Chain A
């Protein structure tokens, strides 16, 4: 974990530097009359300082620690996470075009299929039921206004 801490420290330092630069371009104002970029600049400096402290902390603590997992990425289904992310991305993008019911129905099926194995009939039923129930709960009872997309009900 120490190695990752040190790598992350560098990332944080980079982020801090970026933040300081952006804040600077927004205008710092003076200490007496802080401008838009003042606090973000200070926070950027804080980020850098803390990152350095983290780096030093992990550097000095190398002795006497038992090795944890060789990598947080070994032995996990990380690809599932990627699939699910892409599916949800698709949901958000297609929502205005497909409308709530269809989009939700599809996304439920895709999500279920990307997890542990599941039979098609179960998936279809759960997907349809969830889509309808959630539409009633959120769209009708709670009056959240969903896009209608290609399925227009009202009229």
Chain B
């Protein structure tokens, strides 16, 4: 053959061999890598936690790796849609939180809700908190509320975003105590912290991870946390809203879920696998290091947890005018 024909032959062979290497997988589940979808950008606290969890997960998943996939956008809606529109074959898991499962669907008026998913397990339970500067005129929540009563509209507080759980938690406080506070939303905890540190706002609300270093350095003070019970890992010495007489509860949980349509056998397998993953010593140590201690609940508790959360959050969303 001349050179031209030979090239064509080689190329065709190449193309055929590509087609021919379709692998038909062995029996069992799983037989190929799984995805854990995170609706936030890489490097954020959810992303880091998920990567830590899946790093040592393969032995419990039929030796298949589980890979974190970031699907950012639309305030977590893109991630939720990606999971729901996927193949429902049990290979796509979703790491959700109060924000993405409870708040985002309502605020964005999507056509899905937590009822379209089924729980594999809870991974974390935490709380946001309310912070002020250490040199502020108020040192307790009561003094804060007093000040707000005497200076209506004067207190501005920063949050990591409008419609997020910190925002709702503070608006809940305002509604419960009849004070008016003005929110200045920012694009993330980093900006919110900076605004408070610089004295541009008088209070801030958000994830303790971002604020704790400054509390330790003596620059900020924490007034209250929003969950039902004190977060033992992070804020053991900070009173909750309930303890201080504010009838508002915002629990921040993180769950791993899959779409409801996944087959029951696969769900059972995943639930058992993740129970073991979250008991693995090395994983637990790693999670402690990144300050995300595990707060495990089995998948069967999904409906109960979600309903409770929904009942607590809905009135707050309405109160915040969303």
User: How close is B263's CB to chain A, nearest CB, in angstroms?
Assistant: 19
Question: Residue B311 at the A interface, CB < 8 A?
Answer: no
A151: which B residues are within 8 A, CB to CB?
Answer: 18-19, 21-22
A124: which B residues are within 8 A, CB to CB?
Answer: 7-8, 11-12
Q: Given A121-B8, A124-B7, A125-B10, does the pair A155, B31 have CB atoms closer than 8 Å? A: yes
Q: Is the CB of B23 within 8 A of A155?
A: yes
Q: Is the CB of A121 within 8 A of B7?
A: yes
A103-155 contacts to B (CB < 8 Å): 105, 119-122, 124-125, 127-128, 145, 150-155
B32: which A residues are within 8 A, CB to CB?
Answer: 152, 154-155
Question: Interface of chain A, helix or strand or loop or mixed?
Answer: helix
* Chain B residue at minimum C-beta to C-beta distance from A99: B18
Q: Is the CB of A154 within 8 A of B8?
A: no
B276-306 contacts to A (CB < 8 Å): none
Q: How many contacts between A and B, using CB within 8 angstroms? A: 46
Q: Is the CB of B67 within 8 A of A155?
A: no
Complex Cα gap A32–B25 (Å): 63
Q: How many residues of A contact B (CB 8 A)?
A: 18
User: How close is B152's CB to chain A, nearest CB, in angstroms?
Assistant: 16
Q: How many residues of B contact A (CB 8 A)?
A: 23
Q: Is the CB of A152 within 8 A of B22?
A: yes
Q: Is the CB of B18 within 8 A of A154?
A: no
A128: which B residues are within 8 A, CB to CB?
Answer: 11, 14-15
Question: Residue A13 at the B interface, CB < 8 A?
Answer: no
Residue of A120, A150, A152 near B23 (CB, 8 A) is: A152
Residue of B4, B14, B18, B26 near A121 (CB, 8 A) is: B4
A-B contact pairs, 10 of them (CB 8 A): A101-B18, A120-B4, A121-B11, A122-B7, A124-B11, A125-B7, A150-B22, A152-B23, A154-B23, A155-B32
